[in-house]
Chains A and B, each alone.
Chain A
Amino acid sequence: AAGVIQSPRHLIKEKRETATLKCYPIPRHDTVYWYQQGPGQDPQFLISFYEKMQSDKGSIPDRFSAQQFSDYHSELNMSSLELGDSALYFCASSLEGAGANVLTFGAGSRLTVL
């Protein structure tokens, strides 16, 4: 079965640069979530989209933005990168229109800011 696809898997950037992460949810899933996970930390919720509209916002810095496109894929844009942005970024999807209450995660994108 198709899973959540994230790209790139690894990304190295320098301070003040910009990065874009992509997420392709499970086909027919209508909701996408973005999480940030620092070393030894639990995943921290950033933002979510339901049917291409932002549905909830967590601890996402103002330097970050995200959107969900007509094909349901989502992109997380990070600007003015800081050393503290180095983390694993996960995308997860679910089918909330059908009342499902589980998240399926992608393998993550590891961002390293030098």
Chain B
Amino acid sequence: GQQLNQSPQSMFIQEGEDVSMNCTSSSIFNTWLWYKQDPGEGPVLLIALYKAGELTSNGRLTAQFGITRKDSFLNISASIPSDVGIYFCAGQLISGTGNQFYFGTGTSLTVIP
């Protein structure tokens, strides 16, 4: 399957700090998605990016679809304790057999009050 390299693997930050994480791949994706997962729960969609170069915000979250369509980043500004969780990027690939979604390895975020 496709490999998405997500970094950093984990982050420990002080409340109020900004956070940045990214995903890169050797493949070109049609869509980039960012999800947040709380322990024992399903991933929840944060931001969806559909076009190369697209920059999209959702509150304190900002994400961009890389120009090459092989990468994406997610920024969280002014972090708060409830931002704690695991963040996954996902790339969507349209193939002859349909849509396929590939996930990054996740970034574990810890916010220290």
Contacts and interface: CB of A to CB of B under 8 A. Distances in A.
Interface in A4-18: 4, 6
A6 B44 CA distance: 15
A105 B43 contact: yes
B98 interface: yes
Nearest to B49: A101
B1 A101 contact: no
Nearest to A53: B98
B47 to A, nearest CB: 10
B42 A101 contact: no
Main secondary structure of the interface of B (DSSP, over half): strand
A58 B106 CA distance: 20
A108 B42 contact: yes
Contact of B88 (A33, A42, A58): A42
A104 B45 contact: yes
A103 B98 contact: no
B104 A56 contact: no
Given A42-B88, A101-B99, A106 B30 contact: no
A48 to B, nearest CB: 7
Interface of B: 1, 30-31, 33, 35, 40-45, 48, 50, 88, 90, 92, 97-106
Interface of A: 4, 6, 31, 33, 41-43, 45, 48, 50, 55-56, 58-59, 88, 90, 92, 94, 96, 101-108, 110
